[in-house]
């Protein structure tokens, strides 16, 4: 039986998964464009636009971003920075084109700037790397007018994977987003499109690291009261369904993406438990090797 990568599986389930969707306004100051699986998140600040991730099209600027900016009347706003959550091709391939058009800063961790280039996860993909012009530090805050982007290192999905936190607005209400950069936990038996290439020791370490990152993220969420969970892949946080609902929402009705601290905790706890379960599974494989 043919093994499908998660993406192939999703496309089999939903043939429209990779079709460009109508750009969405998710909050008053947050927009999304791309397809159902990946694309750009656009935060509008009083000092221009800040982007998160860039999808997997090298011409994403023409196909997705520019049409979306025009749709929302944002095409004259300067693009200040493109934050990458991590160094996987489906997050960075559109970034170089945006940099060429706008000259914006491209921000990523040092670990994933290296990972982007050495990782076989990105094999067979056009190596259209963006220049990383801003290496991020754990815990730093970057200010863009009336918005601040907080950087939270959350390794495990990749060695330098990042979470970001920032406020969004819904009428008079302000909410705090935690955008969790990584979702999948990789190891033997869990690797898209082939055998896991990095060896079981690395898989065990990364799975434990992932769990620790979720616990650390929860500490941050508790402290700051994040009440919105976003994943850069919109289908992993039901963002598109909620954004569609939002378009016909009655005044005063709740926003589906505002799930409160407890709602965010559930998303993080689910990943925490999944990563520990896989750490155990990979540890068992490790033990088998050692017993031989």
- Residues making contact with Zn ion (CB under 5 A): 88
Tell me how far, at minimum, the Cβ of 21 lies from Zn ion, in Å: 20
Q: Which long-range contacts (CB under 8 A, 24 or more apart) does 242-251 make?
A: 242/26, 243/24, 243/25, 243/26, 243/32, 244/24, 246/25, 246/26, 247/25
Minimum CB distance to Zn ion smaller for 88 or for 96:
88
Minimum CB distance to Zn ion smaller for 7 or for 261:
7
DSSP character at residue 265: H
In which element (H, E) is residue 142 found?
Answer: strand 141-144
Minimum CB distance to Zn ion smaller for 270 or for 284:
270
Tell me how far, at minimum, the Cβ of 277 lies from Zn ion, in Å: 19
Q: How many CA atoms lie within 13 A of 201 on its CB side?
A: 2
Which residue of the chain is nearest Zn ion when measured via CB? 88
Tell me how far, at minimum, the Cβ of 231 lies from Zn ion, in Å: 10
Tell me how far, at minimum, the Cβ of 154 lies from Zn ion, in Å: 12
Strand spans (E) along 4-140? 24-27, 30-34, 39-45, 48-52, 79-83, 105-109, 134-136
Tell me how far, at minimum, the Cβ of 88 lies from Zn ion, in Å: 3
Minimum CB distance to Zn ion smaller for 88 or for 255:
88
Closest C-alpha to 51, from 39, 43, 61: 43
Q: How many CA atoms lie within 13 A of 160 on its CB side?
A: 21
């Amino acid at each position: 039986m043919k093994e499908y990568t998660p993406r192939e599986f999703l496309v089999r389930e939903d043939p429209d998964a990779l079709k460009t969707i109508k750009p969405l306004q998710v909050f008053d100051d947050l927009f999304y464009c791309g397809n159902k699986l990946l694309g750009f998140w656009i935060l509008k600040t009083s000092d221009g636009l800040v982007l998160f991730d860039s999808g997997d099209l090298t011409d994403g600027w023409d196909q997705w971003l520019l049409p979306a900016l025009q749709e929302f009347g944002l095409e004259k706003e300067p693009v200040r920075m493109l934050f990458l959550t991590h160094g996987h091709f489906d997050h960075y391939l559109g970034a170089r084109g945006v940099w060429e058009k706008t000259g914006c800063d491209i921000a990523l961790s040092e670990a994933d700037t290296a990972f982007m280039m050495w990782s076989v996860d990105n094999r067979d993909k056009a190596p259209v790397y963006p220049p990383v012009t801003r290496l991020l530090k754990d815990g730093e805050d970057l200010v863009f007018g009336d918005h601040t982007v907080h950087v939270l290192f959350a390794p495990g999905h990749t060695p330098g994977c990042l979470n970001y936190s920032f406020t969004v607005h819904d009428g008079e209400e302000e909410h705090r987003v935690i955008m969790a950069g990584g979702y999948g936990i990789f190891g033997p038996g869990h690797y898209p499109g082939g055998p896991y290439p990095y060896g079981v020791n690395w898989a065990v370490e990364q799975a434990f690291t992932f769990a620790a990152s979720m616990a650390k993220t929860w500490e941050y969420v508790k402290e700051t009261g994040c009440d919105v969970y976003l994943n850069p892949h919109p289908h992993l946080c039901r963002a598109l369904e909620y954004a569609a609902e939002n378009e016909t929402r009655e005044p005063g009705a709740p926003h589906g993406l505002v799930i409160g601290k407890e709602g965010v905790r559930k998303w993080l706890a689910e990943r925490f438990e999944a990563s520990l379960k896989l750490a155990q599974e990979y540890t068992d494989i490790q033990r088998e090797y050692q017993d031989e």
